Structure 1
Amino acid sequence: MTITELAPSAGEPLTLAEAKAHLRIDGSAEDDLISSLMRTVREHLERETGLALLTRTFRLYLDDWPRSRVIQIFRGPVQTIEAVTVYDADGMPGEIDVSGFVLDGQARPARLVLPEHPKPGRAINGIEIDFSAGFGATGADVPDTLKRAMLLHLALLYEFRGAVALDDQPAAVPAGYDRLIAPFRRRGL
């Protein structure tokens, strides 16, 4: 099971103005650095939680259908199922009818049940499920707790910006960060 992002985020959940207000910066000399750090803290938070903060499209690749018929999607919250494609033995794609599907997009992981399950002909990645996931189109749709965690993380990275190269970020997370994102984290047994 592999998930790839088909369309990048149209923006960031934090605005430059929010970040600069939190950092108490008035000038624009470091806007590029702050924007880069905003992207870094968002990507880190999304990796830690499995969430997509702003809505965008993804593709889930499966080798075969799960025995339970319940497809788990480890990127959420899932908003819509766009298309389901199954490849035959010759590698020709065939879209299947997704009307009548059942989606629990808010579950962690999201769960999808499709009405039909044609056998894929390819041994690897024979099934593709395109879906959109995220809290919404703007940062106003993202839970405040997650935005607060990102602002704390941004401040720490900004404070130590000279000690650790941007490519090596995030070097650390601030105290309290883990408690803020804990309710949104994936848990495994």
Structure 2
Amino acid sequence: MHRPVLITSPTETPVTLAEAKGHLRVDFDDDDSLISGYISAATVHLDGYAGLLGRCMVSQTWEQKYDRWRRVLRLPFPDVSSVEVGYTDEDDEEITVSTDLYTVLQDQRGHYIRFSDRFSSPNVGPDRAGIRISFNAGFGAAADVPWSLKAAILLFVGSLYVNRETSASDFKPTMAFEALIAPHRRVGV
């Protein structure tokens, strides 16, 4: 399995500028760009493949490639809302697998694709990762992101805003921040 690749980024952040300014008690516009940057930084810190959560917050499209067929192909994220399975055949043709040949399932580790017994694994060639699964992952729109994650982002933004000159290595998450994200983290998966 290869590292997943982000295809389409979310169209919004989990926290709006207005929400962050309200949290910070900022009633002027001079720092809007700075605060927006902090919202983005806090979101990147938590979200996606490299984020602390190991999951997506606002819906986004990813692609996962595989070197070979297996009856079950595990996806790297939970909260999957749609899936498309495809491959590049030996003639370099792009083929989409019919949705009646696989099922999207979920267990305690997350979502996975299980191919039906009728599915016959096509040859994709030994020199390429021709199997790909494109999928949407996330809680949905920003309004669907759990408030505990929004509160964690606001705490992070507040810390960055108040401690602008602190180096990144000096940042220590608070117990409140850790407690807010803990129920949503995918650790050891």
Q: TM-score surpassing 0.5?
A: yes
Matched letter for residue 179 of structure 1: A
How many positions carry a matched residue from both structures?
A: 182
Percent of residue pairs identical: 32
For residues 135-175 of structure 1, give each alpha carbon's deviation from its aligned partner in whole angstroms, at most 9, with x where no partner exists. Answer: 112x21001111111111111111111233xxx58944233
CA drift of 1:122 comes to 4.4
Report the CA distance between 1:106 and its aligned residue.
7.4
Does the 8 Å CA contact 2:102/2:114 hold for their aligned counterparts? yes
* RMSD of aligned alpha carbons: 2.1
Q: Structure 1 unaligned runs (5+)?
A: none
Distance 2:90 2:26 in 1: 59
2:60 to 50, 56, 76: 56
- Which blocks of at least 5 consecutive residues in structure 2 are unaligned? none
* CA distance in 2: counterparts of 1:100 and 1:160, whole angstroms: 54
| Aligned twin of 1:77 | 79
Q: Mapping of 1:39-188 within 5 angstroms? A: 39-46=40-47, 47-66=51-70, 69-81=71-83, 83-104=84-105, 107-115=108-116, 116=119, 117-137=121-141, 139-164=142-167, 171-188=171-188
Change (3 A) 1:28 1:79: same
Mapped to 2, the partners of 1:12 and 1:123 lie a distance apart of 39
Moved more, 8-17 or 114-123: 114-123
Moved more, 145-154 or 104-113: 104-113
1:140 maps to a residue whose letter is: A
State the 1:56 CA deviation: 1.5
Equivalent residues in 2 for 1:11-50, closer than 5 Å: 11-46=12-47, 47-50=51-54
**Do the aligned residues in 1 keep the contact of 2:65 with 2:131 (CA within 8 Å)?**
yes
Q: Which amino acid aligns with 2:69?
A: W
Q: CA deviation digits over 1:9-58, x for unaligned, max 9?
A: 10101011110111111001111111111011111111111211111211
In structure 2, the CA distance between the partners of 1:37 and 1:108, relative to structure 1 (3 Å rule), is farther
Letter in 2 for 1:77: D
Q: How has the CA–CA distance of structure 1 residues 162 and 72 changed in structure 2, closer, same or farther, with 3 Å as cutoff? A: same
Distance 1:104 1:145, change over 3 A: farther
Q: 1:142 and 1:108 mapped to 2: Cα distance?
A: 20
- Go from structure 1 to structure 2 and tell me whether the alpha carbon gap of 1:184 and 1:64 turns closer, same or farther (over 3 Å shift): same
With 48-57 and 27-36 compared, the bigger mean Cα shift is at 48-57
Opposite residue 111 of structure 2, the aligned amino acid is: A
